[in-house]
């Protein structure tokens, strides 16, 4: 891609995130910091320790980079970084950074927040980092693989990275809907158009059975302009597959540690957070939509072990909080009470900040094995917290023998959804666009419904 084309993409993405800072949370809503328990450098080093049996980074001041930080993520992650760690957040969008700065000020947490373009060939990210978070950013670059290499170049040997990149196969239906919006002439920068797109999505939810569940799961996104635009009107969303990302990771000199299985879709595989699934097994599950989560990789750059690793006190403001709600959101864990989760939460904080916790074998004997397995897949519990080999093995083992691929109701044509058809024709008429477009819209909608 020519430098000019890259600049064009970066300018369009910048314009979008300046008009719609992401995720645009109010400065005054209380954030549940504990839900971000798996986002910091210490969590990632904990994964390294579990895999290699030792730390890869020694003591000393560490620098943490949040690449494409948006308006809230640097603040959230900073809660999980000891105060001695220097936080740096970079983003294209000035308004996002302005809000991020206010947040840092309100938290009394010094942080460097800088506007820059990661794809600018002259970019200087400063001294190397111990950990880099690039959540939901790389697929918006013109050259994602090169972007990952840029980040990796400024990662210390032994450093870690968390990246979240889209699972494009699972987002195919969203891509088709975004094409429908484009054919209807709807624009993100027009408030009336955005409202119209919300009405269309609501109407699809009522009239297109194959999209109903998918749109039900997006209610929060549909109601928030920043998130709606991010999902359906993006200026740049590279549609790339697993093999592209695995190659990019390899090219960047990084090694995958594991994958967060947020939606419990990989239960027939060994614990994917602790054992990176084989490429073909993951690809097969992406292809038939057994795995629809985005790809949330933990990565590291290899190095010899240091002589001694840093130990930090877990901050009191985390110790006093309740455990993350995310730990209780699953069939296997929803009956766990606070009495059962509290000792785990405290042990999690000790392991994360101090490098180890007391052994949890006695505690585990009172918890269902499937709940222990789920908690481990979420990164709440690690084999090195048990003395018993049998319990250690349990956490690594698959939870199910097979997982079913989702079944989808048959596709519905616009003839069977007259309300939706009328709404779309009305938009074309108002925008003075040819009604003949309905035939392409119909085709896109059909593709959005096929698996
Ligand atoms: C979907 S948002 C994610 C924000 C944040 N990571 C989060 O999860 O809340 C993507 C962010 O990446 C930033 N971004 C996209 N391209 C970038 C680039 N070339 N250089 C720096 N930041 C970029 C955008 O401005 C935007 O804030």
The ranges assigned to domains in the chain are 3-168+236-300, 172-235+410-449
With a 6 A CB cut-off, is 125 part of the ligand 1 pocket? no
Give the pLDDT confidence score for residue 387 in this predicted structure: 97
Ligand 1 center to 118 CA (angstroms): 10
Q: How is residue 358 written in tokens?
A: 């007391």
Residue 389 scores a pLDDT above 80: yes
The 8-class DSSP code of residue 410 comes to P
pLDDT band at 451 (very low <50, low <70, confident <90, very high): confident
Burial class of residue 221 in the structure, from the number of CB atoms within 10 Å of its CB (0-12 exposed, 13-18 middle, 19+ buried): middle
Cα 209 to Cα 402: distance, rounded to the nearest angstrom: 26
Separation of CA 303 and ligand 1 centre (Å): 29
Protein residue closest via CA to atom 1 of ligand 1: 136
CA–centroid distance, 94 to ligand 1, in Å, is: 11
| Mean pLDDT of the chain, nearest integer | 95
- Provide the whole-model pTM: 0.96
More confident residue, 221 or 339: 339
* Mean pLDDT, residues 243-269 taken together: 98
Do residues 419 and 207 lie in contact, with contact meaning Cβ atoms separated by under 8 Å? yes
**pLDDT tens readout for residues 326-351:** 999 999 999 999 999 999 999 999 99
Q: What is the pLDDT of residues 98-118, one digit of tens each?
A: 999 999 999 999 999 999 999
pLDDT at 217: 87
Please say whether the beta carbons of 376 and 397 come within 8 A: no
Cα of first residue to Cα of last residue in the chain, in angstroms, is 31
Measured in degrees and rounded to the nearest 5, phi and psi for residue 91 equal -160, 160
State percent of the chain over pLDDT 90. Answer: 90
pLDDT digits (tens, 9 = 90+) for 131-189: 999 999 999 999 999 999 999 999 999 999 999 999 999 999 999 999 999 999 999 99
Residue nearest to atom 14 of ligand 1 (CA): 68
Residue 77 has, within 13 A of its CA and on its CB side, a CA count of 31
The fold of 3-168+236-300 is Rossmann fold (3.40.50)
With residue 95 as reference, give the H or E element that holds it: helix 94-106
Q: Which residues contact 63 (CB under 8 A, 6 or more apart)?
A: 85, 86, 88, 126, 127, 128, 129, 130
Is the bond preceding residue 23 a cis peptide, omega within 30 degrees? yes
Contact 171, 139 (CB under 8 A): no
Round to whole Å and give the CA distance between 328 and 340: 11
Specify the residue with its C-alpha closest to ligand 1, atom 8. 135
Asked whether 23 lines ligand 1 (CB < 6 A), one says yes
Q: Quick check: 431 pLDDT over 90?
A: yes
Decide: 89 and 126 in contact? Cβ < 8 Å: no
Q: Tell me 86's DSSP state.
A: E
CA pair distance 182, 188, nearest whole angstrom: 10
């Amino acid at each position: 891609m020519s430098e000019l084309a890259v600049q064009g993409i970066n300018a369009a993405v910048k314009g979008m995130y300046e008009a719609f800072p992401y995720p645009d949370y109010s400065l005054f809503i209380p954030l549940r910091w504990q839900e971000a328990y798996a986002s910091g450098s210490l969590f990632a080093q904990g994964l390294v320790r579990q895999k290699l049996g030792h730390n890869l980074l020694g003591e000393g001041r560490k620098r943490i980079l949040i690449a494409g930080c948006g308006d809230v993520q640097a603040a959230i992650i900073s809660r999980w970084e000891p105060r001695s760690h220097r936080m740096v957040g970079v983003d294209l969008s000035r308004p996002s950074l302005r809000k991020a700065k206010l947040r840092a000020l309100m938290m009394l947490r010094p942080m460097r927040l800088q506007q820059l373009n990661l794809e600018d060939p002259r970019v200087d990210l400063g001294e190397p980092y111990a950990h880099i978070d690039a959540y939901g950013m790389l697929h918006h670059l013109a050259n994602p693989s090169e972007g990952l290499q840029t980040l990796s170049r400024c990662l210390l040997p032994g450093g870690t990275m968390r990246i979240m990149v889209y699972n494009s196969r699972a987002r195919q239906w969203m891509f088709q809907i975004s094409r429908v919006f484009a054919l209807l002439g709807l624009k993100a920068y027009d408030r009336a158009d955005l409202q119209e797109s919300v009405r269309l999505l609501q109407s699809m939810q009522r009239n297109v059975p194959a999209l109903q569940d998918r749109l039900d799961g997006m209610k929060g996104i549909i109601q928030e302009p920043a998130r709606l635009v991010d999902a359906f009107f993006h200026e740049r969303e590279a549609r790339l597959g697993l093999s592209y990302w695995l190659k990019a990771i390899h090219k960047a000199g990084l090694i995958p540690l594991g994958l967060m299985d947020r939606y419990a879709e990989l239960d027939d595989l060994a614990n994917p957070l602790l054992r990176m699934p084989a490429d073909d097994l993951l690809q097969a599950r992406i292809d038939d939509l057994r795995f629809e989560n985005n790809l949330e990789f933990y990565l590291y750059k290899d190095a010899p072990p240091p002589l001694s690793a840093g130990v930090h006190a877990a901050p009191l403001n985390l110790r006093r909080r309740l455990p993350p709600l995310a730990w209780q959101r699953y069939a296997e864990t929803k009956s766990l009470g606070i009495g059962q989760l509290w000792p785990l939460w405290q042990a999690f904080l000790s392991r994360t900040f101090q490098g180890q916790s007391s052994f949890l074998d006695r505690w585990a004997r009172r918890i269902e094995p499937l709940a222990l397995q789920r908690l481990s897949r979420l990164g709440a519990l690690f084999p090195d917290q048990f003395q018993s080999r049998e319990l250690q093995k349990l956490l690594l083992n698959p939870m199910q023998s097979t997982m079913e691929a989702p079944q989808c109701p048959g596709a519905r044509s616009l003839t069977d959804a007259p309300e939706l058809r009328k709404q779309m024709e009305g938009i074309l008429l108002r925008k003075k666009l040819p009604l003949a477009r309905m035939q392409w819209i119909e085709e896109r909608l059909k593709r959005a419904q096929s698996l």
